[in-house]
Amino acid sequence: MTPDQIESAVAAAMPQAVEELKRLAAIPSVAFPGHPEEPVFAAAAMTEELLRSTGLPRVQQVAVEGSFPAVFGEAPAPPGMPTVLLYAHYDVQPAGDPAAWRTPPFEPTLIDGRLYGRGTADDKSGIISHITALRTFQGRFPVGIKVIIEGQEEYAGDRLEAFVERNPDLLRADAIVVADTGNPRVGDPAVTTSLRGMAAFTIEVRTLKEALHSGSFGGAAPDALAALMRMLTSLHDDNGDIRVPGLPRGSFLGQGPSEEEFRRTAGVLDGVSLVGSGSLADRLWSSYAITVTGLDVPTVSGAVNAVQPAARARVTVRVPPAGDPKTTVNAVVEFLRQVAPWGVQVSFGDFTVGSGYQADSGGKARAALNRAMERAFGRPPRDVGAGGSIPLVNTLLRQFPAAEILLFGAEDEEAAIHAPNERLDLEELRRVATTEALFLQELGLPSALGI
């Protein structure tokens, strides 16, 4: 196919792609404990249905120990051609407070060319970009194709890592496309060349056998919630820099966003300062970050006049690409033990860790992607970092050291992933699907292989 034919085919496929994204994003496939499992399996089934529609001769669900099934597809490589592995995930973050959404989180709503709803960007856009690119070739793929779409990346991505380690031949490829990142801005093409790792855990503080009347016992009885708050706030100094020993600030060689751009994208309120030291690129892409992502305490609406006997929090730590997440989480846990006041009982559990990633300079696959992205976006891509984590990437790098790993996608920085009002720009989806189809075609050309 010519580039013109590919661009036309993707453009013609967009109405179907948007309708399928709406269907997929309407499924509340939250794979966190405590959420219904049926929708997660429903998302796996729809993902399998979509992959079968692309003309891949082999499509099936594969069991992942301790997790939800992954969906795998494969087409053998033509003689002498490389194989490309395409990755995405069908699970999503919890919606959070429905009142914070302008539209219902699991009723995808199209407004001014943007599709709002949980998972429209992260990462069901990745699934649809793969599907749309593959359909372009009507079953006659220029390179070998493998597809793996997992079902628990947002909560337990380490389980797919173990699956890859046990089944290396299933996913072995020459180039790997990870469609779970995006551009700094819509229409601003970029390839993500570094990812922070992640560590997360739950901390519980206990002080009393049961709740006590705050009038009768307050002032002497140790409040578990007050103790936990003191411990959590001690993680940062007044400037917002981390106080945990052994977690130094890093540096990123490329250019990051300006403060004005970041404040606008993040929605920082007027008069509120940013936190931390160093350039924004340093803080966002190459340094540690600690965030309290959840608290188990009485709600304001359900509050009673009581001293709390127990309180829990979920803590997430972002780790620089070269950092060790296990060492990092141990350092944070030990620090919290040391600052615990009043002899309170502290326990930790539900640990999750994932390694970061730093790309090499790039080879034939990256050169093919550069050409494809320049055609689709009208200008060449630049290298950027990402503060988020994709646990699978470093495992793929270890298992397939000769493979080029390419991270790009339709999730621009204003897509509000993991937050209320997540949305996807549909023109960005078209450009990314076009990029992927052009890339597959480019990689199958003799000139791309040096033939």
Q: Please, where are the H alpha helices in 26-123?
A: 38-52
Q: Please, where are the H alpha helices in 98-157?
A: 124-135, 153-156
- How far from chain centre, in Å, is Cα 195? 10
Q: What is the DSSP string of 379-407?
A: S--EEEEESS--HHHHHHHHH-TTSEEEE
Cβ atoms of residues 117 and 422 within 8 Å? yes
Q: Which residues contact 143 (CB under 8 A, 6 or more apart)?
A: 77, 78, 81, 82, 83, 84, 440, 443, 444
- Which of 120, 192, 176 is CA-nearest to residue 419? 120
Distances (CA, A) of 405 to 65, 184, 384, 398: 25, 19, 14, 11
Name the residues annotated as catalytic: 91, 153
List phi, psi (to 5°) of 50: -65, -45
One-letter identity of residue 133: A
**Spatial separation of the C-alpha atoms in residues 267 and 124, rounded to whole Å:** 24
Site of tokens 């003309």 = 55
Cβ atoms of residues 329 and 199 within 8 Å? yes
**Spatial separation of the C-alpha atoms in residues 445 and 25, rounded to whole Å:** 35
Q: Which residues contact 50 (CB under 8 A, 6 or more apart)?
A: 20, 24, 127, 128, 131
- How far from chain centre, in Å, is Cα 357? 13
Distances (CA, A) of 108 to 18, 26, 117, 345: 10, 6, 5, 45
Cα R_g (the chain), whole angstroms: 23
**Residues counted in the chain:** 451
